[in-house]
Structure 1
């Protein structure tokens, strides 16, 4: 089957890998000059199945107000007249119940755990290297209140057999020795030993090379303007300049830009761009830097070691498709890494970046068929695109190939929103 994938981020590229491996003739189209140059470019670097959880949960509305009032705030909301934002927020608030949180987290963990295993298999198959480490994630609690409320997450982890460790300060230091220098800053932590780290951009670029060797065609520098359709099927992809590409089947994997592409076809995806920021700084003292990922729970910031660099990622900014680099967000990232790893890296030499994370109101990505017979989606992964990429690509290839995926995927497609309504 001839398949056209729209988007060459980590989601589109992993989809291409598994579809090509299944014997399909695959072409990937992207406006950028290479793979992984937008949201996949400089994310936090975590492959974190154990940390997979929806943002919508009990108590979040109250917490959100507190976050908005913090000096180093993890949540930023810019005034907007965009009705899509308020509709998305309303749907997210509807998921802020105990029952919804457990349902959403359960299916996110299911996909993320599967994806971590798929990444491990892909790494074995291909020998791909991307500054990867398999040393787990440490969620660091600065306050006793944070530690006291960790049971909500551990109950779901228990239900799905996800390994974890509740640690006192000494245990946190055993996991991340550099934290001994700031012992007074935290009261404990939750360690997820099955989590991994790695450079998503490097992975995507190198996987694209592997895909090309398998016969995948990449059309870079090609701006997609619209999908043509007739009789309940997509008939082509119109590019800027007038060219139209055709295939037997189409996969929309354009992150935050997917909803606008599919809306003229009558397909409504509740995906909204949530802007995230990162700093990447050189390590100056390896012994004073993190070994893996430390999640600063107070500021919702991940601090990850990637080779000879430290990646600091975080902030949820609701500002539409604005990609301005705002200095207060840089200051928050710099504060967190300097506070916990003051001698690890050189913040003065850090590069500053922002990307748009495609968020659904229930946290789960939208993977699977649509109301058009030959159109599938693989989008809406939010902050977990890197974590869920391989699993998402693999289950998508199974769906398209008519094979039963290794995990339950009945609640992953866009149809779940119609069912909920």
Structure 2
């Protein structure tokens, strides 16, 4: 019996998850990624999607299932002999609230959502005078909601571990830029500097903001743009193994303490910078200033680490996922934005279910991919 061949472009969180599970299941998997600007490897994130004000049900379906799936993926990696202690750490989350009705709503919403999202765990209100019991460095006048199931994720550690697992199960990683083309039979093929044009039974394009450049040679235009994100961190030996919760602040700033003694601050959201991967000292200084208002202890500390990457966004910030119109062997995932660390593994795994079983939980009516990927007018006329 001929083995099904899989080509995956992009080894970020979606592509690496898909490649891991398919290689694990015995498929012949080839992954392409030149490794420039990848958001996952430059990021650290919070897994606590349940209390968002965003009212997009398909998006919530992805992130809530993504939070649940992390527990399964960590168990699978551990069963395969990989250490996940640096990847996923659950020490809870503190969601800072400036209004009492938001505190009350958290308790109500959490109780309802726990029925389908058991990872939420225990929820409680933490008054301002008790916050130091959870995070001694924090200075604020706010109260907070504590969510037991809140967790942190190290994007780089996750991708590195998944890639090691891919190769462990016989998958091939090509750290090169992939190109798309049509083969002699009219199917989409992939090539790279070290690989001649090769056809695959199934292709997943999960290269984030690079999706337009992958589909352009095939005659498509894609409504996906790159948003730059920068973060920085601080380190102290005194912070090692404290098991502090992650802090979700008003706006888009997060404080993410890791048990290795590092506190990550981020990230910026720069829609105007496209694919520019240079550090912006002014924006980083602003990020630091914002963090210092909450963590005065870092004011005189040197920056421990800086990272920069590009996230993919659609015009309406919805997720792009599905089979590329008119291409029988190609699927795409992009537009995950800042929630990619949460929803990415679930999306990657769902695609493996489609490949293996012919079905997945992604409903086409909830994710109309044709809104973002269209044949160019000159292609239609040829």
Same fold by TM-score greater than 0.5? yes
Partner of 2:38: 38
Structure 2 counterparts to residues 150-229 of structure 1, below 5 A: 160-161=113-114, 163=120, 164-170=123-129, 172-179=131-138, 182=139, 185-220=140-175, 222-224=176-178, 226-229=179-182
Partner of 2:239: 286
1:192–1:268 Cα change, 3 Å: farther
2:94 aligned to which of 138, 160, 165: 138
Greater relative CO (CA pairs within 8 A, separation 6+): 1
Q: Deviations over 1:304-358 (max 9, x none)?
A: 1222211111221122212221112111221233232233697413222221111
Partner of 1:122: 73
Partner of 1:96: none
2:12 aligned to which of 1, 9, 12: 9
Query: Is the 1:233–1:373 Cα contact (8 Å) retained in structure 2?
Result: no
1:329–1:255 Cα change, 3 Å: same
Partner of 1:314: 267
Distance (whole Å) between structure 1 residues aligned to residue 329 and residue 26 of structure 2 = 17
Query: Is the 2:240–2:261 Cα contact (8 Å) retained in structure 1?
Result: no
* Secondary structure of residue in 2 paired with 1:236: strand
Deviating more after overlay: 228-237 vs 348-357? 228-237
Task: Flag structure 1 segments of 5+ consecutive residues without an equivalent.
Answer: 55-101
Query: Shift in Å at residue 3 of structure 1?
Result: 0.6
Partner of 1:81: none
RMSD value, Cα: 3.2
Query: Is the 2:107–2:124 Cα contact (8 Å) retained in structure 1?
Result: no
Distance (whole Å) between structure 2 residues aligned to residue 356 and residue 335 of structure 1 = 23
Distance (whole Å) between structure 2 residues aligned to residue 233 and residue 166 of structure 1 = 59
Partner of 1:404: 359
Distance (whole Å) between structure 1 residues aligned to residue 101 and residue 16 of structure 2 = 40
Deviating more after overlay: 119-128 vs 288-297? 288-297
Query: Is the 2:46–2:152 Cα contact (8 Å) retained in structure 1?
Result: yes
1:339–1:3 Cα change, 3 Å: same
Distance (whole Å) between structure 2 residues aligned to residue 234 and residue 51 of structure 1 = 43
In the alignment, does 2:264 pair up with 1:261?
no
Partner of 1:367: 321
Tell me which protein shows more helix as a share of its residues. Answer: 1
Query: Shift in Å at residue 239 of structure 1?
Result: 2.6
1:6–1:413 Cα change, 3 Å: farther
1:263–1:304 Cα change, 3 Å: same
Q: Deviations over 1:220-243 (max 9, x none)?
A: 1x122x311269954312334783
Task: Flag structure 2 segments of 5+ consecutive residues without an equivalent.
Answer: 374-382
In the alignment, does 2:39 pair up with 1:24?
no
In the alignment, does 2:226 pair up with 1:273?
yes
Query: Shift in Å at residue 178 of structure 1?
Result: 3.3
Q: Deviations over 1:137-190 (max 9, x none)?
A: 22224x44xx656788888766644545454324544443433xx2xx232223
Query: Shift in Å at residue 29 of structure 1?
Result: 0.8
Q: Deviations over 1:12-42 (max 9, x none)?
A: 1111112223432111011139xxx721123
* Secondary structure of residue in 2 paired with 1:119: helix
In the superposition, the TM-score normalised over structure 1's length comes to 0.75
Partner of 1:330: 284
Query: Shift in Å at residue 376 of structure 1?
Result: 0.6
Query: Is the 2:248–2:254 Cα contact (8 Å) retained in structure 1?
Result: yes
Partner of 2:254: 302
Partner of 2:58: 107
Distance (whole Å) between structure 1 residues aligned to residue 242 and residue 297 of structure 2 = 7
Query: Is the 1:258–1:379 Cα contact (8 Å) retained in structure 2?
Result: yes
1:122–1:326 Cα change, 3 Å: same
Tell me which protein shows more strand as a share of its residues. Answer: 2
